[in-house]
């Protein structure tokens, strides 16, 4: 069961500088932010390029502290 979307997950990073750093070839497309990937980003847990409306079972809400119950 999926519990949330990538956009709201603490592992999701769609900062253009982060994407351009992780995927150096994307910079030749003029910008890491544009029609090529819009709001997509990188999953720091799965090491995947993902769109923000995807989700997975490893979702953790951004700003949450997984060490606390």
Return the ∠ at Cα 56 (arms to 59 and 1), rounded to 5°.
Answer: 100
pLDDT of residue 36: 60
What tens digit of pLDDT does each residue of 16-61 get? 888 888 877 766 555 545 556 678 899 999 999 999 999 899 999 9
Establish if 66 belongs to a structural domain: no
12: domain range?
Answer: 6-50
pLDDT exceeds 70 at position 63: yes
Establish if 65 belongs to a structural domain: no
In sequence order, the β-bridge partners of residue 41 are 50
Establish if 67 belongs to a structural domain: no
Torsion of CA 11, 62, 64, 57, to 10 degrees: -60
pLDDT of residue 69: 46
Look at the chain and report how many structural domains it folds into: 1
Question: Distance (Å, rounded) from C-alpha 50 to C-alpha 9?
Answer: 12
């Amino acid at each position: 069961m999926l519990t949330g979307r990538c956009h709201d997950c603490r592992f999701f990073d769609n900062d253009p500088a982060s994407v351009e750093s992780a995927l150096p070839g994307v910079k030749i497309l003029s910008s890491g932010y544009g029609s090529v990937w819009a709001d997509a980003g990188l999953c720091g847990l799965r090491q995947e390029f993902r769109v923000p409306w995807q989700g997975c079972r490893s979702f953790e809400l951004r700003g949450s502290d997984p060490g606390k119950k």
